Structures are given as C-alpha cells and as structure tokens.
Amino acid sequence: MLGEVLKASSLRVSLPEAPPVTVLLLQRYMADGMPLAGAPGPAPPQAGAPCPAQAAPCPSYFYDMTVTDGIFWEKCHLDPQLNGLIHQNKLGCGMQVKIAQCSYVYNEKRLGRGFLCIEQLEVLEGPAFTDAPPQLKVCHVKSTLPLKGGKKHYLPLWNNDDPCGDMWVEKTPLREVSVDEFKLTSLFHLAMTWETRINFQPLLVRIIHKSRLRYYGKPKTKLDVPYQAYFDVADHSGMVLMVLWGSLCPEWYHSMKIGTVLLLEKYAVKKSLSSKTQSSPGDLQMKRFCSIEIALNVRDPPAKINIIPENKIKPEWKLPEVEYQFITRSELDELAQNHFCDIIGLVQYVGRIERKRKKGCVDDFWTYRWVHVIDGTSEQPFIVELFATSQPDIFEQIHPMTYLVCTQMRVERNISENGSNTVYLTTSLKSQIFITGWHKGQPYTKDPKVKNFIQWMKTQEEASYMDRSIIGGYYLLPPLPDTFLEYCKNIKEELALIAISETEKEIDSLHYREQKRIAFQGIISAIRCVSCSSTSQDASGVRPMQIKKRSSVCTSVSETDHINKGRRKYQQAGESASKQKSPPLEQRNIVTRSCTKRQIATVEATDHHPVPSQHSYLTRAASKKRMLRKFLQDNSHAKKESKEVMETAQTYESNKEIADGFKEVHTQRMCHNSWESVLWTAVKDNLTQHLNFSNVFPESFPCKFNYIHKEFLMKQYNLQAAKFKPKERPTSGEMNHFESACPLEYYEVAILGINHDVAIEVALLHDSYLFQVKDTPQNAVFSHVSGTSSCQETINQEGFSELLSLSDEDVKAAALENQRVVCILDICSLDKDKTEVFLRKIYKITDVNVVNQT
C-alpha cells in the first residue's frame, strides 16, 4: 500500500481490492487548528459527480490509528472527516477495516519521512479480531510522537483528565540528599517576606491533598505539555497551595502521593489567584496561607525537587500528619451541603462509565460513574458520584465486593418543596480514590474509623453481600426537583426547553457514552407495559441487540419513508442521520433491532450462516457519489419492502444481526395494562413526524455481579479501550447468560407534540421517580431487585395516582388527558447505533413563573 501511494503522481491512491486490516491502537491529540503545510488537498471530483462539500471547521483533536495485516503494522493518520466514527465508537480497536483510499503527507517544516493519511475506509461488520496478534514487523519508521502537527504527546481517548502514554513516569528515582545540610525556611516566613525576595531558601513540606490533572491545551498553542496539578502542602507553621506545571507533571505527578515529604530547593512564589482550588474551610486544624502559592516550573527558575524516603523522616522536623475526616453512613444525614468528608465501605453497586460534555466545549468530556457503598452503620448506602480523578488504573477497576476509600468528597443535598431529602457524595478537585490492592501504605490506614470498618467486615459473611452485588444499568439518581421552575434554576442554562422535533437531532449528536438530559413540551397520549421474557446479557461478549417493536399493519410506514431512508443512508461519517419513522402504539409483532438503527431487515428465519456486511465511511465527496447510487437502489425496492412488511405475520432478525447479537431471539409480550387517549386515536395516522425511541437494550437493566467473570463484566461497563487486547470472555460451558437484577419490564410512552404534528415514543422504567413520589430515594434505587413484576402488580401507587392511574384491565390517565406537560428525557449513546432514551420525569405546567421564564 505504501509503495502504491508513493508511486502515484498525486500521492493519493484508491484501493478497491485492499485486504482487510485490524485496528491495534487509536491515539488522540490536540489539533494545531490549521491545515498542515504540504498536505494534499481533497481529491478532485470525477466528471458528473457532485462537487465536494466545503471543508468542515478545524477539528479540536486529531487521531492516529495503528493497523496490521497480521505481518506488518503501520501507524496512519485518520482524516478529520472520519473522526465521527471514533466519536460514536463505530471504529474501535480489534475491528477489521478495509482502507479504500489513502494519501501520503510530507511535513514541509520538518526533514524526514511523511505519513499515511486514511481518507476512506470500510468497517467490516463481521466478528471482531479477538486473538493475540503475532510478533509484528514495522512497515515504516516507528514514531512515538503524533504524526500531524507539532504536538509532543497523546491524550486519553475519552477524556483529558487521565495521564496517558509512556512519558508519565510511574516512580521518579530518589536522589540521596541530607536535609540537615540546608538552611530551611517556613511557610509562615515565606508568606510574610516573599514580595521582597527573588531567591528563596529551601522548604521542607508534606503533601496533604492532591488534585486530579488539569489539561489546558488549546489549538494553535505551542505549549509542549500543557498540564498542571494542585497540591496542598504543609509544614509546622501552616499550609499553602503548590502548583506543578508543564513537563514536570509527567515526571513527578505519580511520585507525589498524599503523605509524601518534599524538599524543595528551587521554586517560585506568586500571588495566589486559585480561589477555587483552596480546600474547604475547617477541614484541617492548621493555618492556611491563602495569599500565596508555590509554583514548580520547568524554568524561571527551574524547580529542584527531592522526595524524602519515609524511613528518613525525623520527628524534629515537626511535619504535620495527614488528617482525615472519615464519616459513617449514619452520620451523613446530619452533614450540611458542601461539607467535605472521607468515606470507606464495601462496594455493593457500580454503574457503567458515562461521559458528560464540559460546558461550552464541543469535544471535551468528563467521565464519571455511580457507586453504592455500605459500611454497616446504616441500612442505607453511601451514594457516590465518582468523576475521574486521574487514577485510571483504580477508576476502571472498581467492582462490587471491593473496599473503596474516597477522600475529599463533597456533600450534595436535594431538598424538594415537599420536604423529601436526598443526600449523596460527589468528587471534588482534590478527591482521591483507592480500592482493595491499593490501600497498603496509605496514611488513612491508621484512622480509627477505617480500623472499625475492617473489624466489622471480619465479622460478616461474604456470601450474604455477594447475592446483593449489582453492576451496570440505567441509573435513576439523583432525583429531579419537584417543579419545573426549580429544574430550570438547577440546570443553569439559557435554553431549558427544545422543540419535540429537535429531539432527533439531540440524540444523533451524542458521542459515545455521552449522557444528556433534554426537556420539551408534549401531551401524554398512550402508555403500554412491555415485558421481555429473556433479555439477559450474552456471556460470550457479543454485543446484545436492541428489542424493537413494529406493527404487523404498518399504516404509518409509507413508500416515502423507505425513499427518505435511502437518501440518507450513506451520509458523510460523523454527520447525523435520521431515525426511521415508526408506527403508532398498537398491537405489534416483534422484530429484533439491527445494529444500523435506521434500517430494519424483514426476512424469514433461516439456518444459514451469517454473511458479514460492511459499512463504508468516506470523506464527503466520495460519500455523495455512493449516496446517489444507494438512493436509486433503495427507491426501486421501496414498494417491495413495504409490501413484505405489511404481509409478514412474524418477522425475525437478519442473519447478520443474529451473528452480532444473541444466539436466540428473545421474545416480548405486552402486559394487559395499556391506555390510549382519544386525541391519539384521532391524530396518530396523520403525523408529519413520528419518532420511535422506545427500544430498551439489555445494558439498561442492571445485572447481578458474578465474581468468576469479574474482568469481563468490568470491561463491559468501562469505556472502549484505546489499545487492542485479546478479549477475555466466559466459555459457553460456564454460563449462558448473566442474571438480571430486576424484572425485565418497562413502559412504552407515546408523547404528542403540543401542535399535534409530531410524536415521539420513549421508554420508562417502572422504578422511575415518576412512579415513586413518596419513596425515599435510597429505598427506591433498586427496589426492583426483589424480583417483583410491575406488570403483575396493580399500578396504582399513592402519589402516582395524581398523574396516572392503572387498573388490571386498562390504563386511565384522565388527569393528563389533553394536558400540556414538560417531559424530561435522559439520553445516552451506549455504543455505535445503540441509544438509550428514557422518560425521566413529567412536570405539569401550573406555575405562572415557569411560563414567564421559558
């Protein structure tokens, strides 16, 4: 391939018969914000072909991709127009791809070789590569630096908060130094005299708190390693903030642990402007010098840092010990909002890792997960919201039955107008987390409450807690406010409401595992209870399919729908594609959902082996040529496909989908509880847009933790790895599926737009807070674990009857009939084309202040 490109006159070549290659590594780095000098422009269009679209805005990040053919490996640059494949996890490690077009790029500002740029590729939908690759030969000159631009390091694939790459030194070698040889100063003296000095005497301090990393790189900036980290350091006279800058972070961050003693020979002192990085008042009984901070820089002056081994620390130095504020769960309810504390406990539940977009950012995300921890002092757990703390080795290894320590956690209280109170803990800038295997040598092991917890665990039977261990699933906490006005105040955003027709755009714009909340006005028009008889996760590790419902009399699926689907099927990778229109809520036959969420194949069940399909991802000009051809093909088959859907009494998944999903088609049944408004009956066949997002994936239901398959389950609920590793999956003989922790049931809710022209169908889990007005949040979180079926019960709970009242025969919603409400949706892109959409809460529009505000 490389030889073909170099021989081409334009340094660009198409490869229609290229053999498949396997993706070994994906690497992300900050873009320069400008085109690379010497890079070839887009390929000119062929005669009669559509003109290429205008170039997209400069991306924030570039991606390098390492591929192998089984003999050689090569690191290539991915054309930025294909970045969307990674954003939605459609292109990942272990996948096989065909490179359809690539070019060779030289950097005119550097002497040396160039690199391959992949401009078009096809992702093969067959089984992912699972075996360990053999010893591979390098096809081209090996480069450890990013290929494009002048950046000197890579970033984590899914956030900017974690250290990434070999430049991060795990343990800095210690240098022999005698503290007694230095004339030391104190923090108190430094704070009093720093403005009159240029050079400062050495400092001897202990690290009390440590922050996560902060990456402040931006496109067009020339900083090589734009990182900083904050530390609270103290001596016998008080405590001050210390900031580690630039390339000193990779060298020293891992070695600077809580409790470490530092001898700072050279450093800078400046006026402190970091008010948000100061620790909470009263967390330590020592004086804090808030007016200054110590800066450790690469130059001006270059910092000189020494770590004093623990066995060399002397009592006469009078360095303060690290103090903690451990609390028990029984004490948590008495703590005020924003109080800082530390906790220890046994993990009983751990959620999947999700991502939350940073405010004002397009491609920057926080990563977080929810955890439940018990300590034996209360029937209620600690509910913990854990954001990444620059400890990926720990954050990704949290699992049920491990001992978890969280420091510098902040108390969050949700007090509603009706008096209900939910309390949970969330991480702060200086939070650190530790699990079993990481506790040795930590200062907190001497704390009395830590010792009490350990003694309590020695008296407990592990099996009794193992039965209650849960992992994954859609998470319902914290509860939303009681009124929409309060909700608007909490989100702190200018736009509280969107049009119901814009929900499709919002859902399509999600990145991989991005969680988002949207609100729109609508009318609750139909409700149906759905029971899945078998939706457990397949133990083989094959990606489970979404359960999709479709009417046997598809009156709302017209030929136009099929034509529109054809027009948009091969849009440029990374662009949003529209969801297929869906029929109204009626009695339905069941088909499983394809990995391509905008097309459902209707075929008879066969025993033939699945044939791998391919998806092409091209740069914009090439995609338009293929889009036209595909449109003509789909248009010619539109009537035939529509007729097949109308006549099929029972449909099954296509062979390809059976290969990618469950080995058996899981059945569904509709519960007797259902309701449909008179208005819905009148307008449902005349809608201009009917969106169906009522599908529920197995990943949305929590499952019971299986310690034998701990590694597999953790991988399932962590983010996609940036580096290929052979999959560790349970053998079919050991288990056929993972046991669900709750009834596999949910509600379908049809919501009509207030202009009666657009409707959307979404899912609602029966444990939603919409149904649990009087339940305390802690009791409600996993009340379904007992195995009680919501469809078997009479759904007429007190408090819920104000909104919906269900009987055994039908569902009545007179209180909401034709009434405008505000619907809150939780949306999350689980993987590729699998999007989770749940109705979270309904607000009545009764407050004049709400109407005026929105």
pLDDT of residue 459: 94
Give the residues across from 422 on adjacent strands.
414
Q: How many residues belong to the chain?
A: 854
Cα 294 to Cα 237, 274, 430: the distances in Å are 15, 12, 17
Residue 288 C-alpha from the chain's centroid: 37
Amino acid at 530: V
Residue 461 CB-density burial (10 A; 0-12 exposed, 13-18 middle, 19+ buried) = exposed
Cα-Cα end-to-end distance for the chain: 58
Phi, psi of 341 (to 5 degrees): -155, 170
Residue for token pair 């840092």: 305
- pLDDT above 50 (res 617): no
Higher-pLDDT residue of 658 and 535 is 535
Q: What is the pLDDT of residues 21-76, one digit of tens each?
A: 999 999 999 998 654 433 444 444 343 333 333 344 567 899 999 999 888 889 99
Q: Which helix (H) or strand (E) holds 190?
A: helix 187-193
Amino acid at 524: I
- DSSP string covering 114-132: -EEEEEEEEEE-SPPP-SP
Confidence of residue 418 (pLDDT cuts 50, 70, 90): low
- pLDDT above 80 (res 795): no
**C-alpha–C-alpha distance, residues 594 and 834, integer Å:** 9
Q: What is the CA radius of gyration of the chain?
A: 29
Amino acid at 722: A
The mean per-residue pLDDT over the stretch 650-674 comes to 42
Higher-pLDDT residue of 395 and 569 is 395
Confidence of residue 565 (pLDDT cuts 50, 70, 90): very low
- Selection from 749, 775, 752, 779 nearest residue 764 by Cα: 749
Phi, psi of 843 (to 5 degrees): -115, 130
pLDDT of residue 741: 85
Q: What is the pLDDT of residues 496-509, one digit of tens each?
A: 899 999 999 999 99
- pLDDT above 70 (res 266): yes
Neighbours of 185 (CB within 10 A): 18
Pairing of the two strands 421-434 and 382-387 = parallel
Average pLDDT of the chain to the nearest whole number: 76
pLDDT of residue 539: 34
Q: Which helix (H) or strand (E) holds 85?
A: helix 83-87
Task: Provide the 3-class DSSP secondary structure of residue 686.
Answer: helix
**C-alpha–C-alpha distance, residues 161 and 301, integer Å:** 27
User: Please, are residues 408 and 209 in contact by the beta-carbon 8 Å criterion?
Assistant: yes
Q: What is the pLDDT of residues 106-142, one digit of tens each?
A: 878 777 788 999 999 999 986 666 666 666 666 665 6
Pairing of the two strands 703-704 and 470-471 = antiparallel
Higher-pLDDT residue of 17 and 628 is 17
pLDDT of residue 445: 96
Q: What is the pLDDT of residues 188-231, one digit of tens each?
A: 999 999 988 888 999 999 999 999 999 999 887 888 899 999 99
Q: What is the largest CA-CA distance in the chain?
A: 92
Please report, rounded to a whole number, the percentage of residues in the chain having pLDDT higher than 70.
67
Task: Provide the 3-class DSSP secondary structure of residue 699.
Answer: helix
Higher-pLDDT residue of 820 and 579 is 820
User: Please, are residues 97 and 616 in contact by the beta-carbon 8 Å criterion?
Assistant: no
* Axis crossing angle, helix 559-568 with helix 620-647, rounded to the nearest 10: 160
